[in-house]
């Protein structure tokens, strides 16, 4: 039997993840019980879907419309069972959920069980230490019955090594064979009942059998009290139509008093029940002593003749054992509709398990949403740390200073002799200095980003792997091989190299020195200026000579005119060279500004598209799976409310 079988109760919202052994008393809402406090209640029929589900207003008597058709109880309970089974199946669509699937099977079998009449089933359940076998012997044995009947009762477990269940039924002929005991037992014949004696150190594996019982007696001893039963108590369905179907028997193995009086053990039992159920109604408790009853039977049987002393001893011990109280309780006839009562208990338990499953499914959704939000938050936080490139301005100023020093060697008056070297030298200076320090820094940053990428890759893988394990609902709906494959493909698509951040520098450096770029324009301007200067310096003397020769201009005037033209030409060359340099530095500034923008954009793009690609993709994929799961849970919760409403109608009719 799965150890994670859901309890047939819905835990309180604040304790929804408590162990199953405590889920029973955590599950009970503070509402009026359906029966007396002397017996355990089933899950309250008024309990609704967990608080996280959208609640519907409860119609008042004045506004609610009565159902036009009242179904017979068997059919009404069967409908509840089918709806609950459907909800549980849809909660675990792959059919392997250890929490949902067993209760779905129990509900389906219970619905089938309502289709035909059968014998009543009574179970006496406990382990060897609780004296369960001895208790059943004391219940069945009769000192006045034939010896072969008594022998069959006392030896019913002989030869059944490894077996943990013995079936006992009424029959006129005594027979014990293969774990089946047939004896004359009028109290079994009266109801046509069959007794199942379940003795095991691990009772949870017998839950599929126990949920089909019409009446269950849980046996424990006065020392351990509820401890040996804590694993199965939350999983035993309690019919809201027959709340006394579950009883607790405290077997005092060491108590040899001949009369029953309240004792310290009774107070311990009451304290244990209160601690376990926390004020909720609990099973009817009967205290007996199987050892005292067996002593009484042995004393009567061992006497040669039933004399007065033997009878007195037998009566004292037998009455003191309180076995008769238990026999009287078992002798009470079961109601005619016991099958409906049992099915109603399983229906109530299945609805309770479905409620528990919806709570767990919603918790899975919230857990997945939190993981997605955490991944996205961590990625966005890391992205915010890389919003700008540090030391960019300092590195740009250093490169600008080196280029200025190179251009300082090209005064306008030196250009006629060095103009051909201008372009080559400036290009080489830019190639050698522009962004080189920044490149080394960005290569280092790329290495840091590669480490961060590896950390986020590990975190993403660990987060996705957390969905790989099965829950009580089966494989997690958030475990997606497609998403895992998509994340795996990103490994080759998001490779980081030392040059991953350097493209803007390469591009802007090339923009400065490419043909038609700022350096080329500066060189071309310098060449034009030199040509104009040479034309002026050569042409003006020729013009002065022509004027002196042709127009008989005085020599001083001609020389003055040539000198004036030369001075004007020098002034013009100086001004145009300054304008050329100014235009060059304006282009430089625009390139620097573009580099700043490009580096920030490239850095953000690389961090987002490569470093943080896996966590952001995983977060987006998980969010999409969360939306799909919420879409599936909506109709499930609606159908669960419908099943709960129908169950309420069965209970309160």
* Per-residue pLDDT reduced to its tens digit, 198-242: 999 999 899 999 999 998 999 998 888 888 888 888 888 877 877
Q: How many angstroms separate the CA atoms of 433 and 405, rounded?
A: 12
What's the mean pLDDT in 248-273?
70
Mind listing the pLDDT tens digit for each residue in 465-517?
988 876 666 778 888 999 999 999 998 898 999 999 899 889 988 888 888 88
Within this chain, do residues 350 and 445 fall inside the same structural domain, yes or no? Answer: no
Within this chain, do residues 476 and 624 fall inside the same structural domain, yes or no? Answer: yes
What's the mean pLDDT in 237-249?
81
Of the candidates 125, 156, 137, 153, the residue with the CA atom closest to the CA atom of residue 321: 137
Has residue 448 been placed in a domain?
yes
Has residue 139 been placed in a domain?
yes
Higher per-residue pLDDT: 434 or 135: 135
Of the candidates 11, 63, 1, the residue with the CA atom closest to the CA atom of residue 203: 1
pLDDT band at 19; cut points 50, 70, 90: very low
For the cut 50, the answer to whether the pLDDT of residue 35 exceeds it is no
**Number of independent structural domains in the chain:** 2
Q: Picking from 28-32, 440-444, 622-626, which range would have the lowest pLDDT averaged per residue?
A: 28-32
For the cut 50, the answer to whether the pLDDT of residue 24 exceeds it is no
Q: How many angstroms separate the CA atoms of 107 and 98, rounded?
A: 15
Q: How many angstroms separate the CA atoms of 177 and 156, rounded?
A: 8
Which H or E run contains 78?
A: helix 73-91
3-state SS assignment for residue 339: helix
Handedness of CA 218, 223, 229, 233 (dihedral sign): positive
Of the candidates 540, 574, 575, the residue with the CA atom closest to the CA atom of residue 560: 540
In this structure, what token pair is assigned to residue 320? 């003191």
In this structure, what token pair is assigned to residue 50? 């967990």
> Which of 361, 378, 401 is the C-terminal boundary of a domain?
361
Q: Picking from 173-187, 251-265, 597-611, which range would have the lowest pLDDT averaged per residue?
A: 251-265
Higher per-residue pLDDT: 390 or 273: 273
Show the domain range for 215: 73-361
Q: How many angstroms separate the CA atoms of 205 and 2, rounded?
A: 8
For the cut 50, the answer to whether the pLDDT of residue 373 exceeds it is yes
**Rounded to 5 degrees, what are φ and ψ at 131?**
70, 35
Within this chain, do residues 527 and 405 fall inside the same structural domain, yes or no? Answer: yes
Has residue 563 been placed in a domain?
yes
> Which of 361, 391, 415 is the C-terminal boundary of a domain?
361
Determine the pLDDT at residue 36.
28
Within this chain, do residues 344 and 397 fall inside the same structural domain, yes or no? Answer: no
Has residue 572 been placed in a domain?
yes
Distances in Å between the Cα of 559 and the Cα atoms of 388, 543, 549, 564, 616 are: 63, 10, 13, 8, 80
> Residues 280, 22: contact at Cβ < 8 Å?
no
Which H or E run contains 166?
A: strand 165-170
Has residue 60 been placed in a domain?
no
Q: How many angstroms separate the CA atoms of 62 and 371, rounded?
A: 47
pLDDT band at 4; cut points 50, 70, 90: low
For the cut 70, the answer to whether the pLDDT of residue 10 exceeds it is no
Of the candidates 448, 460, 463, 518, the residue with the CA atom closest to the CA atom of residue 488: 460
Distances in Å between the Cα of 606 and the Cα atoms of 459, 509, 597 are: 19, 20, 14
Mean of all residue pLDDT scores within the chain? 79
Distances in Å between the Cα of 73 and the Cα atoms of 76, 212, 650 are: 5, 18, 7
Percent of residues, the chain, with pLDDT higher than 70 = 79
Q: Is this model's pTM higher than 0.75 or not?
A: no
Report the C-alpha dihedral over residues 155, 157, 161, 165, rounded to 10 degrees. 170
In this structure, what token pair is assigned to residue 92? 């675990």
What's the mean pLDDT in 147-154?
90
Within this chain, do residues 334 and 373 fall inside the same structural domain, yes or no? Answer: no
Task: Give the single-character DSSP code of 180.
Answer: E
Determine the pLDDT at residue 7.
63
Within this chain, do residues 425 and 549 fall inside the same structural domain, yes or no? Answer: yes
pLDDT band at 42; cut points 50, 70, 90: very low
Q: Picking from 176-190, 413-427, 429-443, 487-501, which range would have the lowest pLDDT averaged per residue?
A: 413-427
Distances in Å between the Cα of 469 and the Cα atoms of 36, 409, 626 are: 43, 73, 17
Mind listing the pLDDT tens digit for each residue in 164-185?
999 999 888 889 888 899 998 8
Distances in Å between the Cα of 523 and the Cα atoms of 423, 435, 502, 575, 580 are: 5, 22, 27, 16, 9
Q: β-strand 120-126 against 215-221: which pairing, if any?
A: parallel
Task: Assign residue 7 a region (left: φ > 0; alpha: ψ between -120 and 50; beta: otherwise).
Answer: beta
Determine the pLDDT at residue 12.
37
Q: How many angstroms separate the CA atoms of 148 and 57, rounded?
A: 65
What's the mean pLDDT in 316-334?
84
Determine the pLDDT at residue 96.
55
Determine the pLDDT at residue 551.
63
> Residues 237, 212: contact at Cβ < 8 Å?
no
For the cut 70, the answer to whether the pLDDT of residue 52 exceeds it is no
Has residue 200 been placed in a domain?
yes
Give the burial string for 316-343 (b: 16+ CB within 10 Å, else e): bbbbbbbbeebeeebeeebeeebbbbbb
Has residue 651 been placed in a domain?
no
Determine the pLDDT at residue 33.
31
Within this chain, do residues 332 and 381 fall inside the same structural domain, yes or no? Answer: no
> Which of 336, 361, 386 is the C-terminal boundary of a domain?
361
CB atoms within 10 A of CB 488: 11
Within this chain, do residues 516 and 626 fall inside the same structural domain, yes or no? Answer: yes
Within this chain, do residues 244 and 185 fall inside the same structural domain, yes or no? Answer: yes
Within this chain, do residues 458 and 578 fall inside the same structural domain, yes or no? Answer: yes
CB atoms within 10 A of CB 128: 12
Q: How many angstroms separate the CA atoms of 43 and 26, rounded?
A: 11
In this structure, what token pair is assigned to residue 642? 């419908």
Within this chain, do residues 525 and 607 fall inside the same structural domain, yes or no? Answer: yes
What's the mean pLDDT in 607-628?
94
For the cut 80, the answer to whether the pLDDT of residue 16 exceeds it is no
Distances in Å between the Cα of 597 and the Cα atoms of 102, 388, 392, 603 are: 62, 9, 11, 10
3-state SS assignment for residue 48: coil
pLDDT band at 133; cut points 50, 70, 90: very high
For the cut 70, the answer to whether the pLDDT of residue 630 exceeds it is yes
What's the mean pLDDT in 567-596?
84
Bridge partners for 182 per DSSP: 169, 175
Determine the pLDDT at residue 455.
94
Residue located via tokens 């001083």: 556
Q: How many angstroms separate the CA atoms of 334 and 190, rounded?
A: 9
Has residue 14 been placed in a domain?
no
CA angle 489, 495, 501 (to 5 degrees): 140
Which H or E run contains 352?
A: helix 338-384
Burial class (CB in 10 A: 0-12, 13-18, 19+), 32: exposed
> Residues 619, 464: contact at Cβ < 8 Å?
no
Give the burial string for 235-255 (b: 16+ CB within 10 Å, else e): bbbbbbbbbbbbbbbbbbbeb
Q: How many angstroms separate the CA atoms of 81 and 112, rounded?
A: 10
Q: How many angstroms separate the CA atoms of 509 and 532, rounded?
A: 31
For the cut 50, the answer to whether the pLDDT of residue 599 exceeds it is yes
In this structure, what token pair is assigned to residue 613? 């690609």
Within this chain, do residues 80 and 212 fall inside the same structural domain, yes or no? Answer: yes
Of the candidates 438, 448, 443, 430, the residue with the CA atom closest to the CA atom of residue 390: 438
């Amino acid at each position: 039997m799965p150890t994670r079988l859901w309890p047939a109760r819905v835990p309180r919202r604040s304790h929804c993840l408590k162990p199953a052994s405590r889920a029973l008393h955590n599950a009970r809402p503070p509402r009026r019980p359906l029966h007396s406090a002397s017996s355990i209640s089933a899950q309250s029929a008024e309990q609704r879907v967990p608080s996280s589900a959208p609640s519907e207003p409860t119609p008042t008597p004045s506004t609610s419309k009565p159902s036009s058709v009242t179904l017979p109880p068997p059919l009404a309970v069967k409908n509840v069972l089918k709806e609950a089974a459907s909800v549980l199946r849809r909660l675990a669509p792959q059919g392997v959920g250890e929490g949902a699937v067993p209760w779905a099977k129990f509900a389906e079998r219970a619905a089938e069980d309502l289709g035909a009449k059968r014998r009543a089933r009574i179970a006496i359940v406990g382990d060897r230490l609780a004296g369960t076998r001895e208790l059943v012997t004391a219940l069945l044995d009769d000192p006045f019955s034939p010896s072969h009947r008594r022998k069959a009762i006392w030896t019913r477990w002989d030869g059944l090594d490894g077996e943990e269940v013995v079936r006992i039924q009424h029959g006129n002929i005594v027979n014990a064979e293969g774990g089946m005991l047939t004896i004359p037992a009028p109290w079994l014949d009266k109801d046509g009942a069959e007794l199942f004696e379940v003795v095991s150190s691990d009772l949870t594996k017998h839950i599929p059998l126990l949920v089909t019982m019409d009446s269950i007696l849980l046996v424990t001893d006065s020392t351990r009290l509820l401890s040996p039963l804590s694993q199965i108590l939350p999983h035993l369905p309690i019919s809201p139509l027959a709340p006394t179907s579950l009883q607790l028997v405290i077997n005092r193995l060491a108590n040899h008093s001949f009369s029953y009086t309240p004792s310290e053990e009774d107070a311990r039992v009451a304290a244990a029940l209160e601690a376990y159920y926390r004020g909720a109604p609990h099973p009817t408790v009967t205290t007996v002593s199987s050892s005292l009853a067996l002593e009484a039977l042995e004393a009567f049987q061992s006497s040669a003749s039933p004399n007065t002393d033997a009878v007195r001893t037998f009566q004292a011990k037998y009455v003191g054992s309180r076995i008769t109280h238990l026999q009287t309780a078992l002798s009470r006839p079961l109601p005619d509709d016991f099958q409906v009562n049992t099915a109603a208990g399983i229906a109530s338990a299945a609805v309770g398990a479905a409620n528990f499953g919806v709570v767990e499914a919603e918790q899975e959704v919230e857990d997945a949403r939190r993981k997605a939000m955490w991944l996205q938050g961590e990625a966005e936080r890391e992205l915010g740390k890389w919003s700008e490139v540090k030391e960019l301005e300092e590195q740009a100023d250093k490169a600008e200073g080196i280029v200025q020093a190179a251009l300082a060697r090209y005064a306008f008056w030196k250009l006629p002799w060095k103009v051909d070297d201008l372009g080559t030298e400036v290009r080489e200076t830019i190639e050698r200095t522009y962004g080189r320090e920044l490149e080394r820094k960005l290569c280092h940053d790329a290495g840091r980003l590669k480490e961060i990428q590896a950390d986020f890759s590990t975190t993403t893988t660990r987060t996705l792997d957390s969905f790989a394990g099965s829950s009580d609902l089966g494989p997690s709906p958030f475990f997606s091989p497609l998403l895992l494959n998509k994340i795996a493909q990103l490994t080759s698509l998001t490779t980081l190299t030392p040059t991953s951040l350097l493209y803007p520098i390469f591009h802007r450096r090339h923009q400065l020195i490419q043909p038609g770029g700022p350096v080329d324009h500066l060189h071309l301007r310098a060449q034009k200026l030199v040509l104009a200067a040479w034309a002026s310096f050569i042409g003006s003397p020729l013009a002065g000579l022509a004027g002196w020769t042709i127009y008989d201009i005085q020599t001083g005037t001609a020389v003055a005119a040539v000198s004036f033209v030369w001075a004007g030409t020098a002034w013009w060359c100086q001004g145009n060279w300054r304008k050329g340099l100014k235009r060059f530095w304006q282009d430089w500034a625009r390139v620097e500004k573009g580099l700043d923008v490009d580096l920030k954009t490239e850095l953000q793009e690389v961090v987002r598209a490569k470093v943080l690609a896996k966590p952001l993709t995983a977060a987006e994929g998980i969010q999409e799976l969360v939306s799909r799961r919420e879409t599936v849970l909506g109709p499930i919760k609606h159908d669960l409310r419908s099943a709960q409403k129908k169950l309420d109608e069965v209970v309160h009719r």
